[in-house]
């Protein structure tokens, strides 16, 4: 279970504009051609949407008005052809828009799912490069929420909101230009309504956005709590904490409900508010247009329509022309307000999508685990004189390939497993040092044991050997090479580790053992299982090595899971082995069986053992007793017993490790 350390730096918040710019850049990086085609199709669809007003205007001006002016319909082929062209053009435009709409909707479905696939791939790939420190300071549920809730919010933004906003903006701008050409004064009325809409959208949308972002954050917290409770159900039931767990969840859920309630309260009134402003704007525009019409009839000149629209009541064509302009303008203003309303409807989705994208980019912005090592692990040939040369094929022997930048030469050092720590200081945070002046000398083939109370620094030392964390001061040398010079992947490949908490994955037992060495043969995996004394119980399972392990290997006992994890380390055949409480979850009978396998596993290897059962480390070459990050005693079992110090008191039961 991850710990959320408040002393560690939190993820930085990204500015909304930067998130949007990066999101669009990300999207166009993968689907530039398709997105351009989509926007062209949306523009065509938007043009068809506003063409009804244009076609209405053409019908009235080119067909109806001439008829009112006395032009005959019968036998008037020119008028017939004009009407046919207008209707044909309208049909062609709508047919083109239908095809464009079908194409861009299908394309956006492909683009959205493909884009989310790339996002998840990039996010997971980057997550695998992050240091252990990141997972120690972020809850697993919160990280999972980014993969689920935030990517789903991003899906809605890309598949629905971006196309709809682009459509509405294209339509609104086009309508704005046409209305401006028809009447400056009526356009001024419309613009006043738009300004009012914008103010309302800013006021309501801003508050809605704040609560939607808070909702996304609390949703991650909620999922983190649920994930933690699911993993700890046995503990909850053992200590009868069901009611307390419910109360804690209710508190978190109340926070989520409060944030969601406020977000949706503002979000749900935004669309009706904007739309009703649009309705009011339509009424005001109609009244003003009617007033202009009356004034024109009374021979008043109205700027914007001009002298050419002075109305003579005796001229029905002029009156019809004026009514046509009014009708088309009002229709356009209605469409304009509808498009503005459509944009306001997408504000909530945009806010949630950008908040989700921001959390995704925060993970992608996390600095990957730094690795400036240049010493690598290679297959080696070693002759009788001890000369080491690199081999292109597997030989069963390994060497460190050490290029020297100063003179360009390359030296090879046999991998033996000689590990030494010199005056090492370390703290998970700079202000709190947990290891003080630790020095350890582990020669090849030696077994070094660590003993001490919880929090004494035992596991921290093994974390430093793997370079999960880097030391603050001092040096760690591996076969005489500073481990900071060794590439982390090669360093970790040279070490096997068996943890107290077994982590087995969904798959067969054979696949879980092979996890320690992906190119291992079935025979090598079986030999490793025999070495760990796991072969016997595996062969008694119905499917043997092909038995599929369920989630967290719940169909095996704790001891059986530990034996498989030991076999997994054994198949890698590393020269250095780290056993962190490796037998703590195994019963006494199983421990007796596995101890023989462990002895075989540790033969000719440098081994670091952390154990609470002192009986398992009596044969160690050296035992380090730690207290509050300091080594207070060191020596063999016999030497420490003779000293009659802390180890003696632990061994005789004078006081407990805890």
- From CA 38, how far away is CA 115, in angstroms rounded? 15
Percent of the chain scoring above 90 in pLDDT: 17
Would the pLDDT of 72 be above 70? no
Spell out the residues 6+ positions from residue 269 whose beta carbon is closer than 8 angstroms to its own.
Answer: 204
- From CA 322, how far away is CA 324, in angstroms rounded? 5
- Domain ends where: 384, 414, 444? 414
Lowest mean pLDDT among 173-177, 306-310, 353-357: 306-310
Distances (CA, A) of 125 to 151, 363, 519: 16, 11, 22
* β-pair partners for 450: 610, 624
68 and 163 both lie in a single domain: yes
pLDDT of residue 288: 78
Percent of the chain scoring above 70 in pLDDT: 84
397 and 455 both lie in a single domain: no
Buried (b) or exposed (e) across 222-249, using 16+ Cβ within 10 A? bbbbebebeeeeeeeeeeeeeeebeeee
pLDDT of residue 305: 44
- From CA 445, how far away is CA 621, in angstroms rounded? 9
User: What average pLDDT score do residues 468-485 get?
Assistant: 92
Token output for 93: 């435009």
Token output for 222: 């909620």
| 481-482 β-sheet, strand order | 435-442, 419-426, 473-478, 481-482
235 and 191 both lie in a single domain: yes
Distances (CA, A) of 523 to 151, 200, 513, 519, 530: 43, 72, 11, 11, 10
467 and 571 both lie in a single domain: yes
Q: What is the pLDDT of residues 285-334, one digit of tens each?
A: 778 777 766 665 555 444 444 444 444 444 454 555 566 667 777 777 78
Secondary structure element (H or E) that encloses residue 59, with its range: helix 16-59
Q: For residue 475, what is the domain's CATH number?
A: 3.40.50.300
Ramachandran assignment for 189, one of left (phi > 0), alpha (psi -120 to 50 degrees), beta (any other): alpha
Would the pLDDT of 75 be above 70? no
Higher local confidence (pLDDT), 146 or 223: 146
User: What average pLDDT score do residues 84-91 get?
Assistant: 82
pLDDT of residue 420: 93
Higher local confidence (pLDDT), 445 or 241: 445
Would the pLDDT of 86 be above 90? no
237 and 312 both lie in a single domain: yes
Q: What is the pLDDT of residues 229-260, one digit of tens each?
A: 777 776 677 667 788 888 888 888 888 888 88
* pTM for the predicted model, two decimal places: 0.74
pLDDT of residue 294: 66
Packing angle, helices 347-365 and 16-59, rounded to 10: 150
User: What average pLDDT score do residues 20-32 get?
Assistant: 89
Is residue 491 a part of any domain in this protein?
yes
SS in 3 state form for 344-397? HHCHHHHHHHHHHHHHHHHHHHCCCCCCCCCEEEEEEEECCCCCEEECCCCCCC
User: What average pLDDT score do residues 458-474 get?
Assistant: 89
User: Residue 463's CB: how many other CB atoms inside 10 A?
Assistant: 16
400 and 465 both lie in a single domain: no
Is residue 296 a part of any domain in this protein?
yes
| 576-580 β-sheet, strand order | 495-498, 576-580, 606-610, 447-452, 622-627, 630-635
Higher local confidence (pLDDT), 4 or 291: 291
Is residue 8 a part of any domain in this protein?
no
pLDDT of residue 573: 83
- Using alpha carbons, select from 500, 653, 650 the residue that is nearest to residue 584: 500
- From CA 213, how far away is CA 267, in angstroms rounded? 13
What total number of domains does the chain contain?
A: 3
Q: Give the highest mean pLDDT range of 178-187, 275-284, 531-540.
A: 531-540
- From CA 650, how far away is CA 11, in angstroms rounded? 43
Token output for 387: 């000369």
Gyration radius of the chain over CA positions: 38
238 and 380 both lie in a single domain: no
456 and 549 both lie in a single domain: yes
- From CA 423, how far away is CA 544, in angstroms rounded? 49
Q: For residue 37, what is the domain's CATH number?
A: 1.20.1560.10
Token output for 112: 């959205």
Is residue 5 a part of any domain in this protein?
no
Phi, psi of 579, deg, nearest 5 = -115, 100
395 and 468 both lie in a single domain: no
**Following CA atoms 510, 515, 517, 518 in sequence, which dihedral angle do they give, to the nearest 10 degrees?**
80
- From CA 582, how far away is CA 569, in angstroms rounded? 11
Q: What is the pLDDT of residues 572-629, one digit of tens each?
A: 888 888 888 666 656 666 666 666 666 766 777 888 988 777 777 888 889 999 988 9
Spell out the residues 6+ positions from residue 129 whose beta carbon is closer than 8 angstroms to its own.
Answer: 368, 369
**Contact yes or no for 395/380 (Cβ under 8 A):** yes
Q: What value does the mean pLDDT of the chain take?
A: 80
Q: What is the pLDDT of residues 508-518, one digit of tens each?
A: 999 989 988 88
Is residue 330 a part of any domain in this protein?
yes
473 and 551 both lie in a single domain: yes
Packing angle, helices 184-231 and 242-297, rounded to 10: 170
Helices marked H in 60-138: 65-68, 77-128, 132-136
- The conformation of residue 548, written as its DSSP 8-state character, comes to E
CA angle 55-60-62, nearest 5°? 85
pLDDT of residue 588: 67
Pairing status of strand 447-452 against strand 622-627: parallel
User: Residue 553, SS3?
Assistant: helix
Is residue 342 a part of any domain in this protein?
yes
User: Residue 310, SS3?
Assistant: coil
Helices marked H in 129-238: 132-136, 140-145, 151-156, 162-182, 184-231, 233-238
**Contact yes or no for 417/479 (Cβ under 8 A):** yes
Would the pLDDT of 227 be above 80? no
User: Residue 333, SS3?
Assistant: helix
Q: How sure is the predictor about 57, in pLDDT bands with cuts at 50, 70 and 90?
A: low
**Contact yes or no for 561/512 (Cβ under 8 A):** no
Would the pLDDT of 485 be above 70? yes
pLDDT of residue 375: 92
pLDDT of residue 483: 93
Lowest mean pLDDT among 57-71, 242-256, 294-308, 367-381: 294-308
- Using alpha carbons, select from 639, 275, 278, 311 the residue that is nearest to residue 449: 639
pLDDT of residue 419: 93
- Domain of 324 in residue numbering reads as 16-365
394 and 458 both lie in a single domain: no
- Domain ends where: 365, 389, 405? 365
- From CA 321, how far away is CA 220, in angstroms rounded? 61
- From CA 281, how far away is CA 245, in angstroms rounded? 54
* Total number of residues shown for the chain: 658
- From CA 50, how far away is CA 563, in angstroms rounded? 72
Distances (CA, A) of 158 to 51, 165, 353: 27, 11, 8
User: What average pLDDT score do residues 176-195 get?
Assistant: 79
Is residue 6 a part of any domain in this protein?
no
Q: Give the highest mean pLDDT range of 335-349, 463-477, 541-555.
A: 463-477
- Using alpha carbons, select from 481, 362, 464, 314 the residue that is nearest to residue 414: 481
Would the pLDDT of 67 be above 90? no
Secondary structure element (H or E) that encloses residue 289, with its range: helix 242-297
pLDDT of residue 418: 92
Phi, psi of 302, deg, nearest 5 = -105, 120
Is residue 371 a part of any domain in this protein?
no
CA angle 333-334-340, nearest 5°? 85
- Domain ends where: 365, 400, 433? 365
User: Residue 498, SS3?
Assistant: strand
Lowest mean pLDDT among 116-125, 131-140, 467-476: 131-140
- From CA 89, how far away is CA 93, in angstroms rounded? 6
115 and 26 both lie in a single domain: yes
Higher local confidence (pLDDT), 499 or 403: 403
Higher local confidence (pLDDT), 156 or 500: 156
Buried (b) or exposed (e) across 398-417, using 16+ Cβ within 10 A? bbbbbeeeeeeeeebbbbbb
pLDDT of residue 10: 45
């Amino acid at each position: 279970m991850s710990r959320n350390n408040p002393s560690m730096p939190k993820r930085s918040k990204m500015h909304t504009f930067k998130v949007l710019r990066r999101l669009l850049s990300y999207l166009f990086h993968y689907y530039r051609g398709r997105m351009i085609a989509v926007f062209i199709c949306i523009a065509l669809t938007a043009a068809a949407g506003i063409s009804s007003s244009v076609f209405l205007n053409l019908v009235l001006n080119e067909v109806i008005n001439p008829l009112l002016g006395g032009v005959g319909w019968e036998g008037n082929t020119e008028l017939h052809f004009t009407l046919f062209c207008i209707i044909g053009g309208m049909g062609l435009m709508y047919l083109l828009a239908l095809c464009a709409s079908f194409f861009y909707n299908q394309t956006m479905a492909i683009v959205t799912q493909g884009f989310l696939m790339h996002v998840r791939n990039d996010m997971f790939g980057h997550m695998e490069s992050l240091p252990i420190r990141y997972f120690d300071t972020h809850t697993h549920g919160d990280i999972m929420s980014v993969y689920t809730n935030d990517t789903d919010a991003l899906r809605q933004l890309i598949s629905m909101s971006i196309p709809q906003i682009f459509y509405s903006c294209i339509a609104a701008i086009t309508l704005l230009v046409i209305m401006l050409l028809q009447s400056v004064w009526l356009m001024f009325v419309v613009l006043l309504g738009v300004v009012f809409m914008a103010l309302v959208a800013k006021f309501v949308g801003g508050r809605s956005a704040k609560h939607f972002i808070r909702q996304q954050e609390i949703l991650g917290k909620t999922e983190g709590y649920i994930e933690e409770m699911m993993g700890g159900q046995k503990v909850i039931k053992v200590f009868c904490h069901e009611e307390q767990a419910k109360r804690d969840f209710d508190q978190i859920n109340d926070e989520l409900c409060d944030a969601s309630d406020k977000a949706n309260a503002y979000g749900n009134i935004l669309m009706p508010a904007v739309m009703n402003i649009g309705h009011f704007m339509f009424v005001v525009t109609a009244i003003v247009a009617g007033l202009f019409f009356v004034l024109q009839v009374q021979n008043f000149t109205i700027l914007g329509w001009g002298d050419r629209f002075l109305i003579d009541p005796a001229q029905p064509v002029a009156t019809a022309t004026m009514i046509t302009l009014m009708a088309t303008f009002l229709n356009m203003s209605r469409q304009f307000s509808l498009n503005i309303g459509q944009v306001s409807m997408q504000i909530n989705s945009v806010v949630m999508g950008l908040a989700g994208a921001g959390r995704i980019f925060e993970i992608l912005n996390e600095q990957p685990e730094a690795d400036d090592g240049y010493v690598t692990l290679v297959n080696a040939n070693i002759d009788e004189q001890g000369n080491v040369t690199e081999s292109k094929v597997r030989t069963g022997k390994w060497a460190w390939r050490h290029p020297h930048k100063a003179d360009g030469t390359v030296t090879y050092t046999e991998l033996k497993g000689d590990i030494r720590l010199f005056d090492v200081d370390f703290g998970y945070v700079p202000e709190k040092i947990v290891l003080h002046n630790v020095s350890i000398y582990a020669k090849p083939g030696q077994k070094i044991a660590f003993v001490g109370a919880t929090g004494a620094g035992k596991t921290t030392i093994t974390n430093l050997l793997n370079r999960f964390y880097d030391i603050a001061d001092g040096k760690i040398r591996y076969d005489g090479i500073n481990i900071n010079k060794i590439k982390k992947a090669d360093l970790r490949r040279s070490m096997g580790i068996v943890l107290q908490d077994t982590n087995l994955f969904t798959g067969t037992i054979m696949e879980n053992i092979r996890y320690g060495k992906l190119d291992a043969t079935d025979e090598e995996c079986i030999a490793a299982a025999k070495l760990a004394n796991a072969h016997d119980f595996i062969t008694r399972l119905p499917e043997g090595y092909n038995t599929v392990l369920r989630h967290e290997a719940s169909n095996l006992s704790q001891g059986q899971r530990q034996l498989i994890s030991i076999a997994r380390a054994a198949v890698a055949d590393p020269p250095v082995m780290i056993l962190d409480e490796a037998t703590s979850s195994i019963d006494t009978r199983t421990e007796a069986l596995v101890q023989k396998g462990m002895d075989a596993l540790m033969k000719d290897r440098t081994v670091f053992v952390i154990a609470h059962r002192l009986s398992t480390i009596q044969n160690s070459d050296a035992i380090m007793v730690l207290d509050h990050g300091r080594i207070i005693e060191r020596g063999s079992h016999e030497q420490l017993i003779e000293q009659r110090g802390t180890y003696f008191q632990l061994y005789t039961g004078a006081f407990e490790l805890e």
